[in-house]
Amino acid sequence: MSTLIEQPVQARLVAPAPRMETVPATLRYDREDPFAVRIDFPAPATLEGADVSWAFGRELLAAGVDAPAGVGDVRVRPYGYGRTVMEFHAQEGVAVVHVRTSEIRRFLERAQDVVPEGREHLFLGLDQDLTELLRDAG
């Protein structure tokens, strides 16, 4: 079974213009970082012209499809018409995107197959990290 899940999604960038621009994005989940999910935006979709990746809690994403979640740099909430809103807060400003809730739910189901919710601690690899730390210290 693969330990990495990548799912392309279409994100609609909310902007002051009358219409929302669709940008490609990729949701990622890796069993080696079992508590986190990532969403990657390619360079053409960003103001800096560089790839941007946001990491945040899988639990936050799962909660946010049903009710507002998050108080920090990433906030997720349901939005009418089968969409979920993700807000990304940074020093440079706030980016707001809409993603189809069905795509997020499918992604979360796939992640659940790789690491069941509540079992993330079993995939942390603390023994290997501790062994490497002690080897480097000696």
More confident position, 10 or 116: 10
Model pLDDT, residue 65: 96
Whether pTM > 0.85 for this model: the answer is: no
Supply the mean pLDDT for the chain. 83
pLDDT tens by residue, 22-70:
888 999 998 888 889 999 998 877 767 788 899 999 999 999 999 999 9
Strands (E), 58-116: 74-79, 83-90, 93-100
Q: Above pLDDT 70, what percent of the chain?
A: 78
Q: Which residues contact 75 (CB under 8 A, 6 or more apart)?
A: 64, 68, 69, 86, 87, 89
- Please, what sign has the CA dihedral across residues 89, 90, 93, 98? negative
pLDDT at 80 (0 to 100): 84
% of the chain at pLDDT higher than 90:
43
